Amino acid sequence: MAPISIQEMEDAIFYCHDIPRPKDKTTQLVQFANDTAAWATAINPTRAKTLLQHYTISLEGWMKHWRLRPNPNKSSFLIFTDKRP
């Protein structure tokens, strides 16, 4: 494991406090260590997808500013429902 510099630690702390927050109350954000999760609550999956897409677009500018790239292998979109087929 490579050693981490003080600057990298300070940058990581700044990233945590600088990340954009969702503007609507149905979209939530949570962070733990270097992982971030966003989710939306809606009546139907299409609306939840739209809410998350709006948040993803706002997050894109922030990620470009910090030269961050999400890892598509660690990213996923899940739908949870209490409706039975």
pLDDT per position as a tens digit, 44-66: 889 999 999 999 898 888 888 88
- pLDDT tens track for 5-59: 555 555 555 556 778 888 888 888 888 777 888 889 888 889 999 999 999 898 8
pLDDT number for residue 50 = 92
pTM above 0.75, yes or no: no
C-alpha 22: how far from chain center = 9
Rounded CA-CA distance 80/51 in Å is 15
